[in-house]
Chains A and B, each alone.
Chain A
């Protein structure tokens, strides 16, 4: 995103709309630090600049990935939906993506608030790749890897800044303790935060198959989360 210095009147109205504080007032003119800007579009859409000084410049590769992973209204080619991720558990009753005995994992790097450089996303992806996971093909983050087997990203991307990047894959339930150990180690090596999601089928008696593994690792589980209530059709028939 950019601000036309010839139009800007220095009112500062755009400053609080930047989630990564990339906009500053310099000599009574708003300026955007392009290295920090994640191209989320929030200032352009919501600051209501009184002189229309904010404008979207052409985004070429590799900068375009900032918009793909930061602008909520950008449609990712891989998933066909807006946002950074995929249908994941939201349509699980019709896709059968996450089956009994398995857990769907999403590592939301940069959430909340801080954003992330892709080199930190790569560190985490490379760490979990040691479990021989297959990264979700429909997730745009997987397309940014030069080698999805190792989690290595394309070299030209690793310094790009995004609001969040979601690493998605499936593990067997018994792999969860090792995954948690890996994540604890790599969490100490990154500059940002990540939020961790674990998706699972619910047993017919209401039991949650992942909970013993999570509690066994001494980890906290939020009392709130997402529940797919099974209304999609046709229903996937799990063998």
Chain B
């Protein structure tokens, strides 16, 4: 499940996009992990997360509310929090180090920036996962601008057609980029779609197309 690995974009744009994933490992430390996963999500909100999510049971819209999402976290869940700046990322990494939940923590983002944040809080990076891009019939893919938005949901739930509909709504004055970005977040069941970054990308796309 590499749903946060292949987020496309310029380095400037990706500087506003970090996903922190926390999960237990089956048969090693998953028993009793639910309350710890919930604690992480609460700490993430305090640290400035702009979205939280649960890949097992769905995002806040699917579950009805953020409170439901927090209350329903199970032992085998894979949970996430999305951050839009380094300061917030450093805060949550510091809290995770101090709290020592004993669960695995993975940060998706620019490698150099993430390494800097780890150094700041005294964490040693253990393993990385590199993206070597897209192979095969890349000629069949939509434009890079659309992919920069759609790849923020690695499971493909933020569809190209929906992005195009949102762009039209913004162009026609029926939606703001922020409203459009929030609409695009809804299908992303894991809650890893970054609406802050999406709003910026939508704004730029609409300006370019007008």
Top 9 closest pairs, chain A to chain B, by CB:
A230-B126, A83-B1, A85-B1, A232-B104, A16-B161, A91-B25, A222-B131, A233-B102, A226-B129
Using Cβ atoms and an 8 Å threshold, which residues of chain A touch B127?
Answer: 89, 92-93, 98, 199-202, 227-228, 230
- Is there a chain A Cβ closer than 8 Å to B55's Cβ? yes
Q: Mark A84-120, 1 if CB is under 8 A from B, else 0.
A: 1111111111110010000010101001111100000
On whether the beta carbons of A229 and B106 are closer than 8 Å, the reply is yes
- Is there a chain A Cβ closer than 8 Å to B202's Cβ? no
A-B contact number at CB 8 A: 291
Category for how many chain B residues contact A: 35 or more
Using Cβ atoms and an 8 Å threshold, which residues of chain B touch A193?
Answer: 134-138, 140-141
- Is there a chain B Cβ closer than 8 Å to A196's Cβ? yes
Using Cβ atoms and an 8 Å threshold, which residues of chain B touch A198?
Answer: 129-130, 132
Using Cβ atoms and an 8 Å threshold, which residues of chain A touch B189?
Answer: 45, 72-73
Stretch at the interface among A1-9, A49-57, A60-68, A183-191: A183-191
Using Cβ atoms and an 8 Å threshold, which residues of chain B touch A206?
Answer: 115, 125
Chain A nearest CB: distance from B187 CB in Å? 4
On whether the beta carbons of B141 and A80 are closer than 8 Å, the reply is no
A79, A163, A208, A222: the one contacting B132 at CB < 8 Å is A222
Interface residues of B (CB under 8 A from A): 1-9, 11, 14, 17, 21, 23-26, 28-29, 55-58, 62, 76, 78, 93, 96-97, 100-112, 114-115, 118, 123-138, 140-142, 147, 150-151, 154-157, 159-162, 164-165, 186-187, 189-190
On whether the beta carbons of A16 and B165 are closer than 8 Å, the reply is yes
Chain A nearest CB: distance from B160 CB in Å? 6
Using Cβ atoms and an 8 Å threshold, which residues of chain A touch B151?
Answer: 112
B3, B58, B93: the one contacting A73 at CB < 8 Å is B58
On whether the beta carbons of B129 and A89 are closer than 8 Å, the reply is yes
- Is there a chain B Cβ closer than 8 Å to A42's Cβ? yes
